[in-house]
Amino acid sequence: MQDVRHLFKNIICIVLSVALWMSVFSPGSAYAATADASMRSVEGLNGNNWMSGIADDRYIYEINLPGTHDSATVYCKNATDNAVKLFGIPVFNSGRFAKTQSLTLSEQLNAGVRYLDLRFSAQDGKLLLCHGNNKKVRPVNIAVKVLEFFNPELALLGIAGYPLLRLDTEFYAYEDEACATLLTCDSALAEVKDFLEENPSETVIITAKKENGDAEEYLKLLKEQIEMLQTQINPSTQEAYLYTENGNGVYTKMPALSEVRGKIILMSPDYEALGVGDMLDAKNDAGQTDFMGMTFHYENHWSAAADEKAQYVNSFVAEYSAEMSKEPGQHSACANVIKTNANNLPAQSPYDVAETVNDALYSQNKLENGRYYGWIMGDFMTEEICRAIWQTNYFD
């Protein structure tokens, strides 16, 4: 009888051990081991993998997420060597108003950025990354040309290489500091795909907008890129790089993190023409906007002065942040998006504003762990700033 009991006890132990092993290591539960620890500790997490500690069932709007504005402008240049020129002599550094980041796209992703703002121009069958256009300054350049045409001395100076005035606000992004190789959409997306292959626990939100060039050609070229993302497979997840909603293109509901790990979420004002994605339209003000079936509160004020912008951001954080529940999906705040960038022309550059705003928001541990803030996009985001944001998803 004692042998039977002993045998029965051994069988129970074996069954329980097998059940436990299957629950942890069964297919499709790659993040099951970290799900119970979600919202508890940042131990072992860094800029590459910080989403791996967040439970699969948490919706992406519930995550405090760092992002960048005009993400591709670490290296950028225009036709006048980033300067306004008078008689060929640089008199004003226009380049400082175009540069908004100090890290490349790959460096941003590795630092913890999960939202990229990409601006494009269609040129000679390619999508180039850019910032700014010449629409507003075109009348000035035309007036200068007219003056040169009717004034022989000015015309001769122009021919000699010393034109009266040259003003160019059309900046293109480059892959290298020497500004030798233009940054294309292909190259930018390759960086994102490489990151997601190496870090399949993460997701990246990308906003794609037309800044310059022909609108029809832009849509054609962007559609080709989107179609490739829909068919190209991430080897680490065995699923397409682009997130689609149950096979449908246009987003209507907010996905849980499990649905978008290893994938790109697309934002674009042209999402209907593209047949995929959605757009979060935060105007130059504060208010509400819809994205993926959720209403987002937003703070933008992109033309504010530095001190004013810092006040706007801090007021928004104080009003719209809320304590996170330790249970995923239970915090009380609505969806938030905070855009901390601003460009107070001509007095302050993006760097001038970022220096003030970043110090006001991130210094002295002002963002608290275990509180909900939302998606925070800004200029000159660093690894330290990104960590200050993403670690707030955890309590310890």
**pLDDT tens digit string along 317-354?**
999 998 887 665 565 568 999 999 998 888 999 999 99
Only one residue has tokens 């040169």, namely 148
Flag whether pLDDT at 40 surpasses 70. Answer: no
Predicted confidence at residue 14, as pLDDT, reads 38
Flag whether pLDDT at 195 surpasses 60. Answer: yes
Predicted confidence at residue 330, as pLDDT, reads 60
Predicted confidence at residue 74, as pLDDT, reads 97
Predicted confidence at residue 317, as pLDDT, reads 94
Predicted confidence at residue 18, as pLDDT, reads 36
Predicted confidence at residue 55, as pLDDT, reads 92
Predicted confidence at residue 311, as pLDDT, reads 97
What is the DSSP annotation of 80-91? TTTSEEETTEEE
Could you tell me the pLDDT band of residue 149, with boundaries at 50, 70 and 90?
confident
Cα angle: 295, vertex 362, 355; to 5 degrees: 105
pLDDT digits (tens, 9 = 90+) for 302-320: 999 999 999 999 999 999 9
Predicted confidence at residue 155, as pLDDT, reads 83
Q: How big, in percent rounded to 5, are the helix, strand and coil portions of the chain?
A: 35, 20, 40
Beta carbons of 344 and 304 less than 8 angstroms apart: yes
Predicted confidence at residue 161, as pLDDT, reads 84
Could you tell me the pLDDT band of residue 13, with boundaries at 50, 70 and 90?
very low
Only one residue has tokens 């009717």, namely 150
- % residues pLDDT > 70 (the chain): 88
Closest CA to 298 of 323, 317, 311: 317
Cα 160 to its chain centre, rounded Å, is 44
Flag whether pLDDT at 33 surpasses 70. Answer: no
pLDDT digits (tens, 9 = 90+) for 351-370: 999 999 999 999 888 999 99
Flag whether pLDDT at 3 surpasses 70. Answer: no
Single-letter residue type at 19: A
Task: Report the alpha-carbon distance of residue 203 to residue 49 in Å, rounded.
Answer: 10
- % residues pLDDT > 90 (the chain): 72
Flag whether pLDDT at 211 surpasses 80. Answer: yes
Predicted confidence at residue 159, as pLDDT, reads 84
Q: Is 355 exposed, middle or buried (0-12, 13-18, 19+ CB in 10 A)?
A: middle
Task: Report the alpha-carbon distance of residue 207 to residue 279 in Å, rounded.
Answer: 8
Domain ranges of the chain: 38-133+169-393
Flag whether pLDDT at 250 surpasses 60. Answer: yes
Q: What is the average pLDDT value for the chain, to the nearest integer?
A: 88
b/e map 286-323, b = 16+ CB within 10 Å: beebebbebebbbbbbbebbbebbbebbeebbeebbee
pLDDT (average), residues 260-289: 96
Flag whether pLDDT at 220 surpasses 70. Answer: yes
Could you tell me the pLDDT band of residue 39, with boundaries at 50, 70 and 90?
low
Q: 51 vs 330, which has greater pLDDT?
A: 51
Predicted confidence at residue 140, as pLDDT, reads 83
- Provide the β-strand partners of residue 116: 206
Predicted confidence at residue 333, as pLDDT, reads 61
Could you tell me the pLDDT band of residue 41, with boundaries at 50, 70 and 90?
confident
Flag whether pLDDT at 166 surpasses 80. Answer: yes
Predicted confidence at residue 386, as pLDDT, reads 98
Task: Report the alpha-carbon distance of residue 8 to residue 2 in Å, rounded.
Answer: 10
Q: Give the homologous superfamily in CATH for domain 38-133+169-393.
A: Phosphatidylinositol (PI) phosphodiesterase (3.20.20.190)
Could you tell me the pLDDT band of residue 261, with boundaries at 50, 70 and 90?
very high
- Which region among 11-15, 123-127, 143-147 has the lowest average model confidence (pLDDT)? 11-15
Q: 326 vs 237, which has greater pLDDT?
A: 237
